[in-house]
Structure 1
Amino acid sequence: MTIVIGFEGSANKVGVGIVKDGVVLANPRRTYITPPGQGFMPSDTAKHHQACVLDVLQEALEEACIRPEDIDCVSYTKGPGMGAPLVSVAVVARTVAQLWNKPLLGVNHCIGHIEMGRLITGAKNPTVLYVSGGNTQVIAYSEHRYRIFGETIDIAVGNCLDRFARVLKISNDPSPGYNIEQMAKRGKKFIELPYTVKGMDVSFSGILSYIEDAAHKMLKAEECTPEDLCFSLQETIFAMLVEITERAMAHCNSQEVLIVGGVGCNVRLQEMMEVMCNERGAKLFATDERFCIDNGAMIAQAGWEMFRSGVTTTLDQSWITQRYRTDEVEVTWRD
């Protein structure tokens, strides 16, 4: 029996999760929400996390009915992510590990998403589409690494959606991407946007510039509605993601797709991916906002896998790495 606690704080969510042998015992989190039209600054986000993290830790312990002495390992998000929020949560994890006299483990944020997705959905060896505010990658496992087959060459898909939400002054509560998704359902008119797939990679910055410009001109001239723009943006960027995922599947001879990361909650993205999977006789695996959106349990689950395979992090190595690549981690827990 192994119990691992995980601390997540790489962006605007701070979460603490507790996992015991593949069972999520607790997974509370808090989200830092800014006014419409604004993003979140690293320093303000870090202050939010510092103000919340001990309450969330207490909540997790109570929800799981676990005492500190029951825990075998303390894991935290080492990166990638925003520097100040990462540091603020890593310091808490490091302190807790020393106070409780427990081993410490730095976890790659993306691998947390993948291992959580595999646990919750039961996917065995999927081609993974990892889509969030800070990351966009197509990944498949091979020879003790999660290999990156394609990725964004500029901004992440979630960042593209978030920044467009700011143009339209869409609310950040519960998240800009969720509110764009709801508006897109009411869109009637498709506006053609640049479709930028470069081999196995994608680019979103040009689409964002184009639709920002179109929004100012077309909305003023009443040629379309904000809902039409949301609909058109989603259809275009999701089609790009489905294309590169399908190509990676063909390359790996894969029959499973797993969507992870915050944008993975989007039902329209899941629908489009499902159509492609059905055409290939493949199976789609996706989760809901409890496990797609950044959370502590995913860090605990990846930590559980790593700890059981004999990995720990020494205190002098327990820093954070803002640019921590998925394929830098040796996957010691898979065949």
Structure 2
Amino acid sequence: MKLASLQQSRDGKLIVVSRDLKWAVSAQNIAPTMQYALDHWTDVEPILNDLYHALNRKVLENRFIFQPTHCASPLPRAFQWADGSAYVNHVELVRKARGAEMPKSFWQDPLIYQGMSDKFLNPTQPIEVEDLNWGVDFEAEIAVITDDVPMATSVKNAEKHIKLLMLVNDVSLRNLIPTELAKGFGFFQSKPSSAFSPVAVTPDELGESWKENKINNRLYVHLNQQLFGNPNAGVDMTFNFAQLIHHAAKSRQLTAGTIIGSGTVSNVDRLSGSCCIAEKRMLEIIEQGEPQTPFMQYGDSVKIEMFDADKHSIFGAIEQAVIPFIKH
């Protein structure tokens, strides 16, 4: 099943989207918003799924053309957005870039930070930045949305709580990070609003690509219409989504609508490219002694997308440009 939220009010208007992303139908008589659907998932999921199959059979007269530009992020705001760093290879490289050693424990104990969740960017909404000296970067990731997860949930039980998956652009202001983390209190100003793919999908939509709580497909990232990277999201993922949920729920319950991110997708195989500029810059430092690739400038654009075995877009694309922030 594929779901999306139209840009309407703070929490959007829930719609069901066809498998080929060409058609949609309102789900208002079932669940007015994505959050409502997640809060009542056991009751509404079978009804939404029936509507989804009817939409794919093209028997609904009230269907309309699906337009990603009319979408908010699937959850326009969320009770919790917790982003992990499941690709430890990426963590190691980026920490080297800012002169920080990586503890060996990072290979056994996942990293997670709690990010800004009160307002996400729309999938095609520009990234407004006041100062380019902050070092604007994209981070292409995958995320899951959970239902209610009890505290101290085991890894085995955690996978049952994964209800939807989507793509993420976790926008980062790289040059603000070192000073901020040096205070010992975590990210805040260096992590502004993230954007998510137009569509969120249930795990069964991924077919054989969904194995061991990972998506075994390539994630394509284009910077200014040029391929920047296409690593396989199922390769080199040190901690899968069930492990990340288990870690997040160690000392707290996770409420329905919690978003758990994978962190920047990264492969040890350098031929697959990178999913963020910081990683590429670090590789350039290692190979050439200094970084060659600048961070994003005004007018630069990023596109993040994933395709199935038949080359069809699964989630739709995140497409964003960097623009100046204008004070009003």
TM-score above 0.5, yes or no: no
Bigger RCO of structures 1 and 2 (CA < 8 A, at least 6 apart)? 1
Bin for the TM-score computed over the shorter chain: under 0.3
Larger fraction in strand: 2
TM-score (norm 2): 0.28
Larger fraction in helix: 1
TM-score (norm 1): 0.28
